[in-house]
Amino acid sequence: MGQTNNNQPMAGVRVLDIATFVAAPFCGTILADFGAEVIKIEQPEGGDTLRKFGTPTECGDSMVWLSEARNKKSVTLDLRSEQGADLFRQLVAKSDVVLENFRPGTLEKWGLSFESLREINPKLVMLRVSAYGQTGPKRGEPGFARIAHAFGGLAFLAGEKDGPPVVPGSTSLADYISGMWGAIGVLLALRSVEAGGIGQYVDIGLYESVFRLLDEIAPVYAKYGYVRERMGADTINVVPHSHYQTKDEKWIALACSNDRMFQRLAQTMGTPKLAIEYPTSPDRVKDRAKINALVALWVSGFTQEELLEVCVQGQVPAGPVNSIADIFEDPQFAERENLIRVQDPRIGELVLPNAMPRLSETPAAFVSTGPSLGSSTEEVLSRLLGVSPEVLQALKASKVI
C-alpha cells in the first residue's frame, strides 16, 4: 500500500472515533485505510483499553492496538468534563461521522446525545454499536463478542456433535463483523446525506452482526421446527464437505457443494460408481457417515501436498487447513500482499494484515501504525478549532486533554 492521497474514496471525510476496543473502532480503521481522517478521541489517563489488550510490546501499546488503530490520529479529551464536552461539540461541527460503542444512555448522560449533536451538525452520521442495540429489554446490559456469539446463535453451532459449544475461531469475531456492518451503515448514511438527506445514526447490536450470517437456520426453524445442532467440521446439507487428515498428519478442507463436484471427486478417487450410487446431495446426506469414511480413507493415503495436487488435477475444491505459520509461507498470500511489512517509529518493523477490500483504481493506503496516546492532540485542536498554545497548556493542567 502506498501513502494516502486525495484520490482515495474517503478523502475529505472526517471521523471522530470515541469508541473503545474493536467493534466500532474497526469501522474507523476501514474508513481510515481508504483515506478518511479518523481522529481517535481517548481519555487523557490511559486512553483506549485496547492499548493494553492482547500481546504487549516494548512501546507500552499492544500488538492489537498497533495493528487495528492504524492510520488514525490520537487526541486526548475528557468527554465527561464540561470543557472536554464543549471541545468535542466544536469538533462535531467540523466532522462528518462519529463512532461510539458506549452502553446505551451513556452519551445522553454526558449531554452528547445524537439528537443534540445533530442540532450542531444536521448532516452528522453516528455509528452506535452496543451489546444488544439501542432498543429492547436488554439494551442496557453490558456484553462483549463472546456473549454476542452465544446470544446470537453462533456458539451453539461451533464444536463437535457430542461436545460443548466452543469459541468460533476468534473471541473477537463479532467485534470485527460489527465493525464491517458499521462501515456499510456509515457509507449508506453518508450516501443519503450526499443525496440531500439529513444525518442519521446506525444502530448495531453485536449479536445481530453474527445472527445475520447464519444462512437458513431461521426460516428452516420457522417452517419445520428444525433446530440445527453442532456438527464439527461437517456442513448441514452437503456431503462431503468437511476436514480430513492426510498421511503426514496435516489437514485439508474439501468441499463438494453440488452433484457435479461430487462426480469429479468420485472420478478422482477412482470410484466413479459412487456418483451413480449417490447421485444427489440428499442421497449423500442420508449416508453421511459412509461417504465421510470413504473420503477420509482416501485422503489418508496421501501427504497434504500430494493430495492437494491430486485435487487440482481433478478440479476438486480443496485447500490446506493453514496455521498462521503456514500463511506466512504461502505463495498465494505473498502474491496478493495479504501481509504487509511496515515500520513503527517506536518498535521497528511489523507485519500487519493488509486492508480490505481491494480496489483497482483507488486502493487502500498505509500511513501509520496505532499512534501513541495524545500524539495529535495539539495539532488537531489548533488546526481545526484554533485553540491557542496558552489554552492548550491550561487544558493540560486541568487534565481535560
Q: What is the pLDDT of residues 197-222, one digit of tens each?
A: 999 999 999 999 999 999 999 999 99
Q: Given this model, what pLDDT does residue 6 score?
A: 62
What gap in Å lies between CA 106 and CA 202, rounded to an integer? 16
What gap in Å lies between CA 20 and CA 102, rounded to an integer? 8
Q: pLDDT band at residue 2, thresholds of 50, 70 and 90?
A: very low
Taking each helix axis from N to C end, the angle separating 23-33 and 173-194, rounded to the nearest 10 degrees, works out to 60
SS3 81: coil
What gap in Å lies between CA 140 and CA 131, rounded to an integer? 8
Active site residues: 175
Q: pLDDT, tens digit, for every residue of 67-104? A: 999 999 999 999 999 999 999 999 999 999 999 999 99
Helix (H) or strand (E) holding 108: helix 106-109
Beta-sheet strands, E only, within 233-375: 241-245, 251-255, 318-320, 339-344, 348-353
Q: Which residues of 330-356 are buried (b: 16+ CB within 10 A; e: fewer)?
A: eeebeeeeeeeebebeeeeebebebbe
105 CB contacts (<8 Å, ≥6 apart)? 140
pLDDT at residue 3 above 90?
no
Domains and CATH numbers, the chain: 14-212+358-397 (3.40.50.10540), 241-328 (3.30.1540.10)
pLDDT at residue 32 above 90?
yes
Q: Given this model, what pLDDT does residue 7 score?
A: 84
Q: pLDDT, tens digit, for every residue of 261-281? A: 999 999 999 999 999 999 999
What gap in Å lies between CA 139 and CA 294, rounded to an integer? 50
The whole-chain average pLDDT of the chain stands at 96
Look at the alpha carbons of 6, 122, 200, 130 in this order and tell me if their dihedral is positive or negative: positive
